[in-house]
């Protein structure tokens, strides 16, 4: 009798775990990913350049990539923070009309790269060298994000 109660309890626990896994899978497409490849200060030493690598499903409606950086501060110091965005699609000016046109579709199922400029919040300055946490996401789905802790940057690219 005791064995059957343990067995039933285990089956319920496994079913619950599977259900949680299915919910997590449903919240983001299996063929999508986003991560940080590199971080460096720009030549002015004012902004961070965050190299983002991503793949989004063909036909997905993602339009922007969001990046948030929070620097690890020394004890007693206020950590610098900042955010930045970049378009998923690469655009260029049409020579005839002068309007922006899509030169490369970002959501085509292939791996893509974009460099996102992250300005520090007003009155703050990035340390050089620096270290912090970088969070990247698609702007329309901030629940699907990747957070990288302990990311270091030294100087310009």
pLDDT the model gives residue 156: 58
- CB count within 10 Å of CB 20 equals 10
Rounded mean pLDDT, 13-33: 42
How many other CB atoms are found less than 10 A from the CB of residue 142? Answer: 11
Does this model's pTM top 0.85? My answer is no
Query: Residue 13 has what pLDDT?
Result: 36
Let me know how many helices (H) and strands (E) the chain has, helices first. Answer: 1, 9
Q: What SS3 state is found at 110?
A: coil
pLDDT in the model for residue 155: 67
For residue 25, the model assigns a pLDDT of 24
Pick the CATH number of 31-153 from 3.10.450, 2.60.40, 3.90.320, 3.40.50: 2.60.40
pLDDT digits (tens, 9 = 90+) for 93-109: 888 888 887 777 888 88
């Amino acid at each position: 009798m005791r064995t059957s109660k343990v067995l039933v309890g285990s089956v319920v626990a496994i079913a619950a775990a599977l259900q949680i896994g299915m919910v997590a899978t449903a919240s983001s497409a299996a063929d999508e990913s986003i991560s940080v490849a590199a971080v460096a200060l720009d030549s002015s030493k004012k902004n961070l350049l965050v190299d983002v690598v991503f793949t989004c499903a063909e036909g997905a409606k993602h339009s922007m990539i969001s990046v948030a950086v929070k620097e690890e501060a020394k004890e007693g110091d206020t950590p610098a923070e900042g955010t930045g965005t970049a378009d998923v699609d690469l655009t260029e000016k049409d020579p005839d009309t002068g309007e922006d046109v899509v030169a490369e579709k970002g959501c085509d199922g292939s791996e893509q790269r974009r460099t996102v400029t992250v300005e520090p919040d007003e009155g703050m300055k990035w340390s050089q060298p620096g270290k912090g946490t970088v969070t990247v996401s698609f702007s329309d789905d901030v629940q699907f994000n990747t957070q990288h802790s302990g990311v270091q940057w030294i100087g310009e690219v």
